[in-house]
Structure 1
Amino acid sequence: MTRTLTALFVSLLVLWPVPASAALPSDANATSRILSPLVVAEHLAEEPVYVHPDRYVSTESSLVLSEDRARDLNDRVTEELPGVYLAVTPWPNAPRSMGTAVVNRSEAEGTFLLVGDGLTVISVRSEGDKVPGPSSDTVRMVLAVVNQRPDLARADLGDRLDIALDLLGDEEAAAREYERMSSDGDPGGRALSLVVVLLAALPLVGLAVWALRRRALRPVRVVPLSEAVVDTVDSAAREELRRELARDLPSYGRRVAGFKGPRSRAAKALAAYEAAARVLDTAGDVSDLVGVRVLLDHCEAALTAGPSPRHCFFDPRHQGVKAPASLRVPASPRATTVPACPDCRRDVHAHVPPRAVLDSSYGLPSPYYAVPAEQSVWAATGYGTLAPDLVERVLSGGARG
């Protein structure tokens, strides 16, 4: 009996769950601390808007906010909407459980708006009968408008949040917008209209089916795509990219010249701008033009005190969250890891060559990373994803070895 009780006690000790706080080392990395609901809650206790640094990565993406836009949102909420708090984080789709954790850890009371790695805005409210800020009905209507109104489907995050704050401060306007959206999207009316359209279109559908069957019986003549056509298309795309960069470069020059921030950031911004201008002057291949865009991203990061640019190894123009992708050398145990966008990671996992920047400077077009490192700074650094000194290398040796 004693042996049985001892064995049971030992089993309980082994299987007893360890608290999550005890499982984490005391020196957890900065990213884990930033993503913690407790850190977000502590920030919201001091300022009503929290924006994670990752949401500043690219000013061209509708999923991110510029620092100026985030500051404006913070000022608006502070002055116009007491009892409202906003957190923009990389949490996948801002799960409601994370929002609840923020509310439970926060000393503030009110309505907490959260945005994850997409554009959807959700809300979590403090418990209690007298929660400060807009009513729960108003919040529900506002979120329905900013998340479901058809004309906002392509609006960027900043515009969505501006509209949300406008409506949260005006309950009557929120009700009007919600009613207008609901009436425009009446499913009964849409269904009736659809039936009428289908009935009217039946004769045309029959005629189209007959014509398609007749056409299918005809022999199809396939015209092969010639190298000349491909060259023409590539040349047009290259020149369009060159014109775009030539339009953007002067504005960066003006911003660098008028920069009033710390000297170290001013030096970094100036170096990246000079490197971009130097490459653009001599760029003869699309791979060089892509490099100019990367260098301007470094200039932007220095001007705005944002994090270092995170690009896709295969093509820096690819959008989406960058994450490690494992590449293995064929018929070899050697492997390496590079940052890649979601599409490229999917291709790598499916053993399909990702769509990479092509380099035509040395003959037939080939992926830029296939060029010997001594002949291309882009290949040597993976457009800066493999080495942090891309700007210095361009200034000291140019884009080509």
Structure 2
Amino acid sequence: MDLILQAQQQQQQQQQQQQIDDDETGGETGSPENHRPFIPKYSMKDENLLRRVDLTSTEHVNAVFFPDEFQLGKDHWVAVPKHILGIDTDFAFVTKKMEEFRKMSAADRQREIVRWDKMQRWERNMYEDRIAILMQQRALLIAHHNNNHAAGLALSDTSGNSNSNNSNSNVLMNRMSSLKRSRDFDLVTMKPPASSPTASGVPTPTANDLYASVAQSIANYSEVPDSKRRCIRMKPPIPSRFQGDMDAQKDVPVPEFISLMNFPSLSLPDNLRCCVMCGQACPTSAAMKQSKQKMRTGSKSNAEVAFIPTQNKGLCTLCDVNVWIIASTGMEIKWCKGCKNFRCWAAFGDKGHATKCMRCRERQREKYAAQKEEKEKALVLRGREASGAKAKANNNYSDKM
């Protein structure tokens, strides 16, 4: 109860301050039509408050709280996650969206929240991976500098300076590895140990410089590419089959699909979605049925329209026929339309460009054989019934004679 009262008081103070700012600056938010909802930002320590709030996200704990007329009970508030409504939406839109969300069934509400939670979790992981890539690049630069410096000292001193420098770089890389695993680290308040001075006086980048550079690169968001480059498209010419030991590799497990995606699966207006591998905006199957307009072609010589089938998990029809290489392991994978997932390329056998793996093709052959057998049995049974009916008709005719 105290936390709810604190939230209400904080909301009133924020609205009063906003009103004062609007009066001073001549803003347009003083009228009820242009009123902006108060969006408090909670930390994980406000966990008890979140348990009392309906329909709010537990991953990114930013919720939109509404005025008293939206209150359902004394201690029971209805809230909608901020990422469902969007930021800086006017009050009329929030009211309409709130009514739509309230009319949903409990299952639909939960599915909507889970879908957005997965999206935000993906964006958070992508941001963390960007930080990790930047840290790894700078760690490799420091290690390369230390190795070159150790090689220069080896001409005059062979007492193990290179091992010392290598150990220092390894310690630094281990510290950054543990740092990037932390989700809520602060690059400003951290105090990493400074590197020891070198004997030759050659300036070595310190850990403080490293972290400051990382923080600057993170602040400049445009320096980091949008693609996570987890999987790389195999460059042509592509062989007709897997070139390694097929028997040994055909049953190798493939990582989870979400860990292979290069781009998040984003829904766009006009029934478009972003392909999770190439990142291009492609129409969905529903859009292709409604309109035959060509949205995207693979090349100048290929006029086929790329779209995203319903059961393709976000892959377009140009990416599901390509062979991909996992950047971290070098494993060659391909999309199987029967398994509806990536399989090791060796699992496709001699037909490396087939749309289904050997296991699915064998299952399909068995299915077709069973269907053919059923049809033959039905034809035989139908023939027997026809011959029996004919014999019965002949007997009736002979009796009449």
**Which has the higher Rg, Structure 1 or Structure 2?**
2
Report which of the two has the higher share of helix. Answer: 1
TM-score by length of 1: 0.25
TM-score by length of 2: 0.25
